[in-house]
């Protein structure tokens, strides 16, 4: 990143909330301006890894097919763009003061995401509403109001607060309790069962098991270790009350 005025290179750890150059003191960007950003997923990607995910400022998420691209409009200023393919991530920071083009490529030889960033010359004046309306702007597939945590929850990447062996009927498996849901995964590769706390009416004690009552009077009963039984009941009851409130 460079200052658009004195062309000095800005430090990678620059305070992105400060809108002035530490070298010349001039303003780095005009918040009233908007620019276009083209992002392309280059090369072939293993189908097992899925499409490339692109996160803008940990608020907007886009999905880009291999060989395809997206077009987005952003306000001038600092922006963080994170790319994800499978379990691999790469984040870059850009000072947006012109239109940009980013080509992202997942290198199957190194299992790393490589990016090429180009600023489009002659676009420093920004885009007005009329010119933007003529473009085919890509809509995000997901918006998070809680930042990275929101995406982790939606994508199933967050870490459970509790994880232990459990059984449901005749099925033995593993029960995981997250901040917004519970998951029961039966042994043997059977389909995972997910219950969002917002859809749970109550959690009751039932002869040493946990009786989870869902909407529509549907009950899910889990047997769990005795040493954490009371703790789990308290945790689930508290989480459900938080969601209701």
Task: Tell me the per-residue pLDDT of 70-119, one tens digit each, with 9 for 90 and over.
Answer: 999 999 999 999 999 887 889 999 999 999 999 999 888 888 899 999 99
First to last CA, the chain: 44
> What pLDDT digit, counting tens, does each position of 34-83 carry?
999 999 998 766 666 778 999 999 889 999 998 899 999 999 999 999 99
Cβ pair 138, 72 in contact under 8 A: yes
* 116 bridge partner residues: 103
Give residue 173's pLDDT.
94
Report the range of poorest mean pLDDT among 28-37, 98-107, 149-158: 149-158
Give residue 188's pLDDT.
82
Confidence check: pLDDT of 29 > 90:
yes
Taking residues 118-128, report their average pLDDT.
Answer: 94
Q: Which domains does the chain have, with CATH numbers?
A: 34-151 (2.60.34), 162-244 (2.30.29.30)
Name which of 162, 205, 201 is nearest 184 in CA terms: 162
Alpha carbon 62 to its chain centroid, in Å, reads 9
Q: Whose structure tokens read 């072939």?
A: 44
Pinpoint the alpha helices (H) of 85-228. 129-133, 148-155
Report how far residue 70's alpha carbon sits from residue 85's, in angstroms, rounded to the nearest whole number.
Answer: 16
Cβ pair 79, 100 in contact under 8 A: no
Name which of 235, 142, 147, 158 is nearest 197 in CA terms: 235
Give residue 12's pLDDT.
84
pLDDT-derived band at 158 (thresholds 50, 70, 90) equals: low
Taking residues 228-243, report their average pLDDT.
Answer: 91
Angle at 53 between CA 83 and CA 109, to 5 degrees: 60
Confidence check: pLDDT of 13 > 70:
yes
> What pLDDT digit, counting tens, does each position of 181-216 carry?
899 999 987 788 989 898 899 999 998 899 999 988
Report the percent of the chain where pLDDT is more than 90: 62
Cβ pair 82, 58 in contact under 8 A: yes
Residue 235, Cβ density class (10 Å: 0-12 exposed, 13-18 middle, ≥19 buried): middle
pTM reported for the whole predicted model: 0.65
């Amino acid at each position: 990143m460079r200052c658009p005025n004195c062309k000095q290179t800005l430090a990678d750890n620059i305070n992105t909330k400060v809108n002035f150059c530490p070298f010349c003191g001039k303003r780095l960007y005009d918040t009233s301006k908007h620019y276009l950003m083209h992002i392309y997923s280059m090369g072939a990607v293993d189908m097992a890894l899925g499409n490339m995910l692109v996160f803008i400022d940990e608020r907007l998420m886009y999905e880009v097919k291999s060989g395809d691209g997206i077009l987005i409009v952003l306000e001038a200023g600092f922006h963080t763009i994170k790319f994800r393919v499978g379990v691999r991530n790469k984040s870059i920071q850009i000072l947006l003061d012109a239109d940009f083009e980013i080509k992202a490529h997942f290198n199957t030889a190194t299992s790393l995401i490589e990016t090429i960033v180009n600023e489009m010359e002659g676009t420093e004046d920004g885009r007005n509403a009329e010119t933007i309306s003529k473009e085919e702007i890509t809509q995000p597939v997901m918006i998070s109001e809680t930042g990275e945590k929101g995406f982790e929850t939606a994508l199933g990447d967050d870490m459970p607060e509790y994880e232990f062996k459990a059984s449901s009927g005749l099925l033995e498996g593993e029960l995981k309790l997250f901040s917004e849901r519970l998951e029961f995964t039966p042994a043997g590769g059977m389909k995972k069962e997910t219950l969002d706390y917002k859809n749970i009416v109550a959690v009751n004690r039932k002869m040493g098991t946990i009786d989870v009552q869902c909407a529509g009077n549907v009950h899910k009963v889990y047997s769990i270790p005795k040493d954490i039984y009371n703790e789990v009941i308290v945790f689930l009851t508290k989480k459900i009350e938080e969601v209701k409130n």
